[in-house]
Amino acid sequence: MFERDFGALLFALHDAEVEFLVVGGLAAVLNGAPVNTYDVDVVHKRTEENINRVIPVLDGLDAIYRIQPDRRLRPSRSALLSPGHQNLITRHGPLDLLGTIGEGLGYEDLVPHSTEMLIAEGIGVRVLNLELLIEIKEKLGGEKDRAMLPLLRRTLDEKSRKGTTSS
Label the pairing between strands 93-98 and 114-120. unpaired
- For residue 98, give the nearest of 37, 43, 25, 29 by alpha carbon: 43
Is residue 32 close enough to count as binding other proteins by CB under 8 A?
yes
Is residue 147 close enough to count as binding other proteins by CB under 8 A?
no
Considering only 13-21, 30-38, 64-72, 139-147, which stretch makes contact with other proteins by CB under 8 A?
30-38
Is residue 1 close enough to count as binding other proteins by CB under 8 A?
yes
Question: How many residues in the shown chain lie near other proteins by CB under 8 A?
Answer: 31
DSSP 8-state class, residue 74: P
In degrees rounded to 5, what are phi and psi of residue 123? -115, 105
Asked if 7 and 119 touch (Cβ cutoff 8 Å), the reply is yes
The binding site for other proteins (CB under 8 A) comprises 1, 3-7, 26, 29-30, 32-34, 36-38, 117-120, 127, 150-151, 154-155, 157-159, 161-162, 164, 167
